[in-house]
Structure 1
């Protein structure tokens, strides 16, 4: 080996190690970014605000929905989302459309992730009318046997506006 060439390998090795370390850091950052891509609170807030404006136009368009019959059971509106006062707002909107409503309440659950109208036997058509009055963005599902609140009425679970 030539002694003149030996010192030139050291900077080459150091440069290669530095590039390897930088590559590992960027791979780690990319992995972290991909794993947490849906957890941006600012983005969630902006999405919620855009849904508010969309819902307000959908609510005004839904005001021409068919009239509510007298045999429609009382509605119980529960807020299962993170928007404060959502159940009260939805209750007021449903009252304005002719529905009879109970006092709004809160529901702590992770099993309901979208706006949902639950119904018992014989309440399907009334539940469909409620979902239509909500702008059509609510699912209509049979009431789970474990859901005991609002036993004589139709529960309306709201998560988003």
Structure 2
């Protein structure tokens, strides 16, 4: 009788877990991974010789704000790709990181007071479709730099 009661409890827990759990366990894993900054070991695993040599031959303008690249898209390694491109254009970059945001749907540079010209220059340097918008008050990442949120390849 005791074993039957234990079996009923476990069946109930299993049913509850199946009914209330995520329908896509991979989504939970991806969400957990996206909260962590890109690790240097994965950066070293996929170097691009062309962009690496380009970034070493371009000098960084010390008057420009640092660019913080955030991957808000579903393409793995997109933040690192853009960070290399931005460095190759003469901008200083922070370590790329992932960003969870459903409200940002296009590549965007955010700027704070006094940074609009630099943000517009970065968008122009990148070419393609990059929006330039004032920093939302709730966005507190990269407080002194220019956040570049990337969603798609150009």
Look up the match of 1:78. Answer: 70
Structure 1 position 106, deviation (Å): 0.2
Matched, 1:128 2:117: no
Q: Which residue of the other structure, out of 55, 67, 85, is the alignment partner of 1:93? A: 85
Q: Which residue of the other structure, out of 94, 104, 110, is the alignment partner of 1:112? A: 104
- Tell me, in whole angstroms, the C-alpha distance in 1 between the residues paired with 2:60 and 2:117: 11
Q: Report the secondary structure of 2:110's partner residue.
A: strand
- Tell me, in whole angstroms, the C-alpha distance in 2 between the residues paired with 1:117 and 1:68: 19
| Greater gyration radius | 1
Can you give the 5+ residue segments of structure 2 that lack an aligned partner in the other structure?
1-58
Look up the match of 1:64. Answer: none
- Tell me, in whole angstroms, the C-alpha distance in 2 between the residues paired with 1:136 and 1:145: 26
Matched, 1:156 2:152: no
- Tell me, in whole angstroms, the C-alpha distance in 2 between the residues paired with 1:127 and 1:79: 17
Q: Report the secondary structure of 2:68's partner residue.
A: strand
TM-score relative to the length of structure 1: 0.57
Equivalenced residue count is 95
